[in-house]
Amino acid sequence: MVDLASVARAVIVGSLGVHRGERVWVHGWDHAVDLMSQLAMECGSAGAEVLLTVEPEELWLHSLLSSPLDSLEKLSRYQSSLLEETDVYIFTLGPRRPVPWQRIPPERRKAASIWLDTRYDHSGFAAEWSAVAKRRGVRMLGVEATLATPERAEDLGLDYERWREAVYNGCLEDPVTILARAKKLSGRLAGDENVHVTTPQGTALTFRLDRRALDLSEALATKDKANEGIITFLPAGSIEVTIDEDSANGTLVFDQPILTPDGLMVRLNAEVDAGRVTSFSVTGPRKPFRKYLEADDNAGRLSFFGVGLNSKMRFGFTQDDKVLGGVVMGFGDNENKGGRNRANGKGWWGALSKATVRIGNETVMRIGLLGA
């Protein structure tokens, strides 16, 4: 069962630390009004001023299809003025139904701003929003759990109730606990040592770290992030780093199913040499991964590594990268994580369970247990 009041408290108190007198703007899709109401009430309890605005899915799609294109690529004067007066901005992810991209002309697709974070959202709207938010130091948080809807579950082949419960419960993980787990790994991950990953399912892979910046998802919307225009998303709980893109060798067996637009991919097995996939096998259709590899010459380069830090997340849904003790291996473009592999924005990742991870001479994870 999902407790929306507890989720709202985790957002307002745990992640944002909203305090008396702050001005909070809560914006969300029409299917998430129940959560938005709880967020507004929690803001009131903290003594903050709150404004709640709703995005009707039908209106959003109509605007994307028919409004003048230049109007979609910029903030309106109303939005800009509101953001100038805002200390904290909270939004829910959506819409309720999968976006019908086939109905949207290619030249308009780039104007669809959903994630708002310029690391992933390259729309003109997101760029203008980020400029104002950074200048004003607005703390921002997106609730990704609201993507768990009956319509999206049907499209992905997931059990809606179990998916919804998993991602909302994941929002309740204590940020301090996530940070404590991350500290056990951060020193080693920031170095330049060799990493060896094995699993009972057949993974035996080595690669090298290269003193790259760490990408930590710890559920805290801090002032430092605000000054950089970085948005915090919930549920959170992972630490990732890009790797020396030419260094990986061995076998990767993704024992966790991978969701693709063409259906569920089970047990992807990839052979990697000098950082690149040289062959692969999979239970079921080969088309999704083959199509991905053919999209760009660098799509098949192993480019990042991560560990899940959230004890309340579960495998089998959309955020396997955050499950405590899970290992993530990613291919393709890693520039938005501070890497050096350009793959025209193409990326692919999957999760391993029960992994044993050795960095240098230290075993940091044994059969999925951190610090064991």
**Do both 108 and 245 map to the same domain?**
no
Is residue 334, in this structure, part of any structural domain at all? yes
Residue 115 in contact with residue 103, Cβ under 8 Å?
Answer: no
Cα 353 to Cα 340: distance, rounded to the nearest angstrom: 27
> What is the pLDDT, as a whole number, of residue 260?
81
Q: Which domain holds residue 31?
A: 4-170
Look at residue 202 in the predicted model and tell me its pLDDT. Answer: 98
Domain membership of residue 225 (yes or no) is no
Note whether 119 and 199 are same-domain residues.
no
pLDDT for position 263 = 76
Judgement on whether residues 166 and 87 belong to the same structural domain of the protein: yes
Q: In this structure, is residue 228 part of a structural domain?
A: no
- The tally of domains found in the chain comes to 2
Tokens representing 149 are 């809807």
Assess if residue 229 is contained within a domain.
Answer: no
Do residues 65 and 206 share a domain? no
pLDDT value of position 208 = 98
Are 129 and 208 in the same domain? no
Do the domain assignments include residue 202? yes
Mean pLDDT by 10 residues, the chain (372 residues): 96 98 98 98 98 98 95 94 98 98 93 90 94 98 98 95 98 97 96 98 98 96 95 98 98 93 87 98 89 95 98 96 98 92 93 98 96 70
Q: Is residue 14 part of a domain?
A: yes
**Structure confidence at residue 372 (pLDDT):** 60
**pLDDT score for 45:** 98
Give the CATH number for residue 23.
3.40.1830.10
230 within a domain of the structure (yes/no): no
| Residues 285 and 365 grouped into a single domain | yes
Asked whether residue 204 falls in the same domain as residue 324, the answer is yes
Predicted local confidence at residue 101, as pLDDT? 94
Are residues 143 and 189 located together in one domain of the fold? no
Residue ending a domain, among 153, 170, 187, is: 170
Residues 201 and 123 in one domain: no
Any domain includes 271: yes
Q: Is the same domain home to 11 and 65?
A: yes
Domain end (from 146, 170, 194): 170
Same domain, 191 and 324: yes
pTM confidence score = 0.95
- Let me know whether 364 and 254 are in one domain: yes
Distances (CA, A) of 135 to 11, 87, 225, 229: 23, 11, 12, 9
